[in-house]
Amino acid sequence: MKNNIYHILRGKFLVSDDSFKNWRIIIFISLLAIIMIASSHSADQKVHDIARLNNEVKEWRSAFVDGRSKLMRLKMESGIVQKMSEKGIEPSSNPPKKIKVKKEED
């Protein structure tokens, strides 16, 4: 047992006669490690992209809500009356009348 550990520490398993199978395993494990690291970096990048896109969605949603509230304020009758009174147009004192058109039947 002590001899095996000594051979591993000295690197004899890399230069011995049957070292080809050891090198194949080492290269295979190294490639798997590189693939695992690349996959991890890719996953991290996707997580950062998702977080950035979520922040953009929140910003666009708040801009939409802000724009909608401004539009609601502009469409209110009191706001329209105020804008028109600045231009000299005032609301009518008598309410509008509904006109009904009857179809003539032959």
Q: Could you read off the pLDDT of 46-88 as tens digits, one per residue?
A: 999 999 999 999 999 999 999 999 999 888 888 888 888 888 8
CB 37 within 8 A of CB 45: no
d(CA 56, CA 58): 5
Kindly state the tokens that stand for 1.
């047992």
Answer whether residue 106 shows pLDDT above 70.
no
Highest mean pLDDT among 43-47, 77-81, 99-103 belongs to: 43-47
d(CA 70, CA 26): 66
Answer whether residue 94 shows pLDDT above 90.
no
Answer whether residue 5 shows pLDDT above 90.
no
Q: What is the pLDDT of residues 8-37, one digit of tens each?
A: 777 776 777 777 777 888 899 999 999 999
Kindly state the tokens that stand for 50.
């998702």
Answer whether residue 93 shows pLDDT above 70.
yes
d(CA 99, CA 102): 10
- What pLDDT shows up at residue 25? 86
